Amino acid sequence: MSFGRLAVLVAAGGLLSGAFLAFHYAPTFEAARDATAHVETLPLGRLLRSLHHWSGAFALVLAGLHGALVFARGGHRTEGRRLWVLGCLLFLVLTGFAYTGYLLPGDERALAGIRVMEGVAASTPLAGDAAAGAVRGGDAISSATLTRLYAVHAVVLPAALVLLVALFVGSWRRLCTAPPRPLLIPGAATLAALLLAALLFPPALGPKADLLGEAPPDARPEWFFLWVNELLHRVPGSTFLVAAVLPSLLVALAIGLPFCSRGRRGPEIAVALAVVLGIGGLTAASLARAPERPPEPPAPADTPAPDVPRIMERFQCARCHRIDGKESADDMGPPINRIAAPDRPAVKDLFTREYFRRKVGDPRKYWEGTSMNYTPIRLKPTPAELLALEAWFYGE
């Protein structure tokens, strides 16, 4: 079979549908999710988005099958190292497409995925902060993070794909003596299957991500990283080893294969089978494990709304602020009011709720130099406390 050429065909389709999506996309958290939703309202937009999604998965599977067949017939020994290494790099590029593509819609699931990526980067020994900062493009996950992912997905990876395919085809031509088998029938069958998948299973689009909110509890990565997720779940506290070292080792093993493969084939086949079975088994285990359910929201009767004066006491808001005109010990912050006062309007007339939530939710994250954090307890109310404060200041 010509799985390799079919993978290239599907990937080319992915570039075309991607170009269509790029016309409508904006890489910011304010706009990305709505832009994605907007595409679905355009003529054929929903289908093109679905085709784009599925062409990533198809190309990955076809390329994987191709690699497996080449390995099975010992092609990594007989067909030249160069071709094998280029093939591995192509597979990596396809994985990169699928991975970054899943983060771009800017919905809740994407944000959860970005947070996992940030966590993995932050787990790097010694250079964790720098790595996480490089992934985020700043001190916190923001639209700058999406912009980076978009640049990788829509500029770096397509360029790498085109370059690698050109090199690959060049090497392959030199090696290939027989004319390639015609692609018409398998090509048409693949495209038909792709179309069917795209029509039957369009990708979901979740609610808009809330940069300050909690991650949805059942967030899972895409299918090709489920095994990593499962391993992380089973071996807690090993993020860097499991999510960074192990995949890199597997990649190095695959790329290095033709350089150390000689003699009997038994051992290398055993290792390959063990890797495939391990990944397959972990993926199955992850699928079988029921998603962690969010804790049941307790009945409204026995959850008293967080008590605002108590929250303020805990964070000593009144030590720095005159609140509704009351005395303040240090009086170092601006007066903040629930009710309009002669010297200062009410909070609700001064700030948007978004600003309030960001400022009071985690002042340090919002502004490194804030003096709102010199008290011994770090000012970081829980989401419920923040909601209560907001409701109080906005007079609800």
User: Which residues bind to ligand HEC, rule: CB under 6 A?
Assistant: 312, 315-317, 319-321, 332-334, 336, 347, 356, 359-360, 363, 367, 370-372, 374-375, 379, 389
Least distance CB 336 / ligand HEC (angstroms):
5
- Is 391 in contact with 350 (CB distance < 8 Å)? no
Tell me how many degrees the CA angle 4-6-11 measures, rounded to the nearest 5.
95
**Closest CB 342 distance from ligand HEC, rounded Å:** 17
List the one residue out of 112, 118, 111, 158 whose CA is nearest residue 135.
118
Alpha carbon distance 386, 142 (integer Å): 20
Closest approach of ligand HEC to the CB of residue 317, in Å: 3
Minimum CB distance to ligand HEC smaller for 281 or for 334: 334
The burial of 371, by beta-carbon neighbours within 10 Å (0-12 exposed, 13-18 middle, 19 or more buried), is given as exposed
| Smallest separation, CB 298 to ligand HEC (Å) | 24
Cβ of residue 313: shortest distance to ligand HEC, in angstroms? 9
Closest CA to 7 of 86, 61, 83: 61
Q: Which is nearer to ligand HEC, 35 or 379 (CB)?
A: 379
Q: Is 303 or 371 the residue whose CB approaches ligand HEC more closely? A: 371
Q: What is the dihedral of CA 22, 144, 105, 155, to 10 degrees?
A: 40
Q: Which residues of 189-215 are buried (b: 16+ CB within 10 A; e: fewer)?
A: ebbeebeebbeeebbebbebbebeeeb
Closer residue to ligand HEC in complex, CB, 129/330: 330
Distance separating alpha carbons of residues 369 and 375, to the nearest angstrom: 14
Quote the least distance from Cβ 338 to ligand HEC, whole Å.
10
For the CB of residue 384, give the shortest distance to ligand HEC in the complex, in Å: 13
**Residue number with CB closer to ligand HEC (174 or 310):** 310
> Closest approach of Cβ 322 to ligand HEC, in Å?
11
Residues 122, 135: Cα–Cα separation, whole Å: 9
Count of C-beta atoms within a 10 Å radius of residue 26: 17
Closer to ligand HEC by Cβ: residue 234 or 310 = 310
Alpha-carbon span 109 to 103, nearest angstrom: 8
The residues, any chain, with a CB within 8 Å of residue 267's CB and separated by 6 or more, are none
